[in-house]
Structure 1
Amino acid sequence: MNKSKRKLTESELQLSESLRRIWLAKKGELGLNQEKAGAALGITQGAVGHYLNARIALNTETIIKFAQLLHVEPSDIDPNQVVKLGRRSNPSATTEDVLQGVSNASGTQSPIPPHRTTVPLISSVQAGGWAEVVDNFQPGDAEEWRETTAKVGPNAFALRIEGDSMTSPAGVSIPHGSIVIVDPDVEYTNGSIVVAKLIDVQEATIKKLVIDGPNKYLKPLNPNYAPIPINGNCRIVGVAKKVEIDL
């Protein structure tokens, strides 16, 4: 099911334009490109581009991180920001080092924001062929881009669950409509929740992988559904790292 991306508000567009102006003015001086910025900020190179090109709205944490990276105050990006940053004398310091010096308006130490990255939300059909398309994936190919605290690699993606085969009456449950963050670079093991592509099915599916000696199964968490035996007829696309639910 296609989902329209939320359009940024006028104020969000203005923030993005302000960041972009500062980026263009400072990146040469600081020896930055989008790849280096992503590594320092803990996000993907693509996410840096989305922030700079007004595809994703900036939030306070991201503004603070970009301000530290670019050696400016958050208020230079957003005049409404009251956070003041300690000037950093070491240009090679990491974002984590810099955030240690962030103080809020009351003068108390501000905690380091959790690691965040941005991944594309794709369809089950796209997930089935992810290995073939990931290198040529374009921003407009995703339903939307999701910010997540899951620690995943650069090829990670998000998948929306459809149906109730992974809804469990007890223990881990992944209900209809929830979002699963998937990392194709993680090695799967017995018991992993995986996204898998069966040879004769166009869409990918998400199930629990069960390895019992020489036998392997894709097991739904809902006991009303039968396990699916696999034996050379299945390719594991990636391993689920986190489940997120929009209320």
Structure 2
Amino acid sequence: MKIGATIRAARKAKGLTLEKLALEAGTDASNLSRLERDQQGANKELLERILQILGISLTGAHRIDPNVGEDIRIKGLIPVISWVQAGSWCEVSDIYAVGDAEQWLPCPVTHGPRTYAVRIRGESMYNPHERWSFRDGDIIFVDPDRDAIHRSLVVAKLTDTQEATFKQLIIEGEQKYLKALNPSWPEQIMRINGNAEFCGVAIAKHESLI
């Protein structure tokens, strides 16, 4: 994620307009707009002011570089990653080890330091008659440090695939199943026998009006 996209995501998460942030940072909105679109750079002092206003911190000896967004640690924002990245989540201990994020979003609930977000694909978890229902394109927040218990909504990776899947965990005695919430889904129940690795528990759904 380049510095411009990082600044734009953090600004929107804080509910700041271009004009408001530009005023606080001591620049003008047109310059800030070009910076957010990575069409121009900014001097070190201006970048430091913008990052401070947005609550974006730098790690240790990391330097400010207008073209390198990977060095930026965003406080309070969660990365939206791909399902391939989610499938590798259990193997990493740092959310920044997965590479670029699609975008960064504020999580509405208390979460662990490795929490990530993924965008739902398909309609297997869509059931408008249940408490939880997820449409294609919805975004969920997933905490890999939360214990998966009976009826948890989990992201799991099967051993024969590189990508993860989103289902409800059903535990009956020693047996575990993955269940699609959609009652019309062709394969609603999948039995798992040590052939799945849990990559986190869904803790919230992102609600957006746009």
Q: Which has the higher helix share?
A: 1
Give the corresponding residue for 2:122: 163
Give the corresponding residue for 1:46: 73
1:1-247 mapped onto 2 (5 Å cutoff): 5=5, 8=8, 11=19, 12=21, 15=24, 20-21=48-49, 46-48=73-75, 117-135=76-94, 137=96, 141-171=100-130, 172-225=132-185, 226-247=188-209
- Structure scoring higher RCO (CA < 8 A, sep ≥ 6) equals 2
What's the CA shift for 1:175?
Answer: 1.3
TM-score (norm 1): 0.56
Equivalent residue letter for 1:202: Q
Using the alignment, how far apart are the partners of 1:13 and 1:138 within structure 2?
32
* 1:193–1:46 Cα change, 3 Å: same
What's the CA shift for 1:119?
Answer: 0.6
Q: Which has the higher strand share?
A: 2
Using the alignment, how far apart are the partners of 1:224 and 1:236 within structure 2?
25
What's the CA shift for 1:133?
Answer: 3.7
Contact 2:95 2:115 in 1 (8 A): no
Q: CA RMSD in A?
A: 3.1
Gaps in structure 1 of 5+ consecutive residues: 25-32, 36-44, 49-116
Using the alignment, how far apart are the partners of 2:129 and 2:149 within structure 1?
22
Aligned residues: 159
Using the alignment, how far apart are the partners of 2:50 and 2:206 within structure 1?
33
Equivalent residue letter for 2:145: D
TM-score (norm 2): 0.65
Gaps in structure 2 of 5+ consecutive residues: 9-16, 26-44, 60-71
Give the corresponding residue for 1:62: none
